[in-house]
Amino acid sequence: MSRVFVRKATYDYSTLKHVIFEIMDSSAAGDMISKNSRVVIKPNLLAPAPPEKAIITHPLIVRAAAEYVLDRGAKPQISDSPAMGSFEKLLKESGIRKALEGLNVEYREFIESETVDTGIPFKKIEIARDAVNADVLINLPKLKTHAQMLLTLGVKNLFGCITGMKKPEWHFRAGIDRELFAGLLVKIYQAVKPTVTIIDGILAMEGQGPGKGGNPREIGVIMGSRDTVALDFAVCKMLRIDPDALLTNKISGEQGLFNGDISMDGELPQIKDFRFPEITPLVFGPKRFHGLIRRHLVQRPECKETLCRLCGECWKYCPAEAITRGKKKPRFDYEKCIRCYCCIEVCPYGSLAARETLTGKIARKALKI
Ligand code: SF4
Ligand code: SF4
């Protein structure tokens, strides 16, 4: 049985620090840290954004985890591979550098990778060397919605261990099918095996997350577990959805990594009206029409011209090279687009959203999907 800790919390540092320290002690994760341990702290550092936007793990949670590691005599390394923007800019704009001022920590972007044989179907996956070789990996996700995968929690946070432009490459290879992509995320999780996962659910994100298209939503909890899948499962219960709606949970269950047995330490609140992104199938209808259906009927990224600043982040990142610069906004080639919704994730101005075409809506209704 996997133990999941849930505590009410705010960003008041003295109480927050107590909560993080308590979870590290009670879960026995702290026992894994000794003086010479290589300890990597992996927050969600998706993109440069201030904490009130709820895009990144709050800097004070990173600070508390770093202080815990320092108290145990080890030197923490703060690492991630952001989807956009430089690592340095992100540390500054997110407030992490300031929040951790005076602490003896190392900041190191995940750049070098190591090839890990993960077996069928992906076989060799290149994963951040520092994450694979860490003695202790402290996984600090943010509780957020995700336009493609529904939510980004503990398992999904580890996709940041795929470095730089290898991320869009994997989106291109596996993102065309949500279950396949979830399977990839589970493989990465198994390869890096976080020692403990503590999720920032104080100011969460709902709506069209995980980037600037989402809306901050106060939930007021910190949750932690040695078992990342159990933690994700408990978060789904808190948000009142079937845990298998999060495909990484479903696949972990199918692969025997988790059997749904959780022992809750603390009272799990019930959040009744959490707003999820609308997830429509990436393909539906008879198989021989899948290509046509995907191109014309499946929810696709669209741009709100008034918000677009033609910054180019979307076309730089698009794994399918389906975006080009237009006069006032990007131009999409929906024939090429694989519906990974990465462009929505990386747009710094929240000008992109996934929209279903009218014909798609009508077709789905007719097919009762
Ligand atoms: S849609 Fe967003 S990412 Fe793309 S050019 Fe416009 S502002 Fe930049
Ligand atoms: S246009 Fe957007 S959704 Fe389509 S493939 Fe490119 S990044 Fe993915």
Q: What is the DSSP letter of 142?
A: B
- The model's pLDDT over 67-84, given as tens digits with 9 standing for 90+, comes to 999 999 999 999 999 988
Higher pLDDT, 367 or 100: 100
DSSP for 238-276, please give it: HTTS-GGGSHHHHHHHHTTS--S-EEEES-----S-PPP
- CA–centroid distance, residue 307 to ligand 1 (Å): 8
The predicted model scores a pTM of 0.90
- The four Cα atoms 327, 329, 330, 331 give a dihedral, to 10 degrees, of -70
Is 349's C-beta closer than 6 angstroms to any atom of ligand 1? yes
Q: Which numbered atom of ligand 2 lies nearest the CA of 168?
A: 7
Q: What is the DSSP letter of 278?
A: P
**Fold match flag (2-265 vs 287-367):** no
- CA–centroid distance, residue 339 to ligand 1 (Å): 16
Is 186's C-beta closer than 6 angstroms to any atom of ligand 2? no
pLDDT at 362: 76
Is 83's C-beta closer than 6 angstroms to any atom of ligand 1? no
Structure tokens at 241: 């959805």
Is 318's C-beta closer than 6 angstroms to any atom of ligand 2? yes
DSSP for 8-63, please give it: E--S-HHHHHHHHHHHHHHTT-GGG--TT--EEEEE---SS--GGG-SS--HHHHH
Share of the chain above pLDDT 90, in %: 82
Is 312's C-beta closer than 6 angstroms to any atom of ligand 1? yes
Protein residue whose Cα sits closest to atom 4 of ligand 2: 337
- CA–centroid distance, residue 43 to ligand 1 (Å): 25
Q: Print burial letters for 128-156: b (CB count within 10 Å at least 16), e (below 16).
A: bbbbbebebbbbbbbbbbbbbbbbbbbbb
pLDDT band at 281 (very low <50, low <70, confident <90, very high): low
Structure tokens at 6: 């849930």
Asked if pLDDT for residue 102 goes beyond 70, the answer is yes
148: nearest Cα among 280, 313, 28, 328: 280
Ligand located closest to 330 CA: 1
Fold of 2-265: Rossmann fold (3.40.50)
Is 301's C-beta closer than 6 angstroms to any atom of ligand 2? yes
Ligand located closest to 167 CA: 2
pLDDT band at 283 (very low <50, low <70, confident <90, very high): low
- CA–centroid distance, residue 114 to ligand 1 (Å): 32
In sequence order, which residues have a C-beta less than 8 Å from that of residue 240 and are 6 or more positions away?
270, 271, 272, 274
Can you give the residue ranges of every domain in the chain?
2-265, 287-367
C-alpha to C-alpha distance for 51 and 231, rounded to whole angstroms? 23
CATH architecture of the domain with range 287-367? 2-Layer Sandwich (3.30)
Per the omega criterion (within 30 degrees of 0), is the bond before 121 cis? Answer: yes
Asked if pLDDT for residue 357 goes beyond 90, the answer is no
Over its C-alpha atoms, the chain yields an Rg (Å, rounded) of 20
Cα-Cα-Cα-Cα dihedral sign, residues 217, 222, 228, 232: negative
Q: What is the 3-state secondary structure (H, E, C) of 72-139?
A: CCCCEEECCCCCCCCHHHHHHHCCHHHHCCCCCCEECCCCCEEEEECCCCCCEEEEEHHHHCCCEEEE
Residue 214 phi, psi (nearest 5): -90, 170
Is 185's C-beta closer than 6 angstroms to any atom of ligand 1? no
Report the alpha-carbon angle 160-162-164, nearest 5: 90
- The model's pLDDT over 119-131, given as tens digits with 9 standing for 90+, comes to 999 999 999 999 9
Report the alpha-carbon angle 182-184-189, nearest 5: 95
Is 347's C-beta closer than 6 angstroms to any atom of ligand 1? yes
Protein residue whose Cα sits closest to atom 8 of ligand 1: 311
Is 352's C-beta closer than 6 angstroms to any atom of ligand 1? yes
pLDDT band at 286 (very low <50, low <70, confident <90, very high): low
Distances (CA, A) of 140 to 64, 125, 336: 11, 22, 34
C-alpha to C-alpha distance for 291 and 284, rounded to whole angstroms? 10
- CA–centroid distance, residue 2 to ligand 1 (Å): 42
pLDDT at 356: 83
Q: Which numbered atom of ligand 1 lies nearest the CA of 343?
A: 3
- The model's pLDDT over 174-230, given as tens digits with 9 standing for 90+, comes to 887 899 999 999 999 999 999 999 999 999 999 999 998 899 999 999 999 999 999
Ligand located closest to 299 CA: 2
Is 332's C-beta closer than 6 angstroms to any atom of ligand 2? yes
- CA–centroid distance, residue 50 to ligand 1 (Å): 19
Protein residue whose Cα sits closest to atom 7 of ligand 1: 308
Ligand located closest to 335 CA: 2
Protein residue whose Cα sits closest to atom 2 of ligand 1: 347
pLDDT band at 88 (very low <50, low <70, confident <90, very high): very high
Mean pLDDT of the chain: 93
Contact present, 70 and 37 (Cβ < 8 Å): no
C-alpha to C-alpha distance for 205 and 152, rounded to whole angstroms? 10
- The model's pLDDT over 288-309, given as tens digits with 9 standing for 90+, comes to 676 666 666 778 999 999 999 9
- CA–centroid distance, residue 27 to ligand 2 (Å): 40
3-class state of residue 216 by DSSP:
strand
Single-letter amino acid code for the residue at 93: E
C-alpha to C-alpha distance for 55 and 47, rounded to whole angstroms? 7
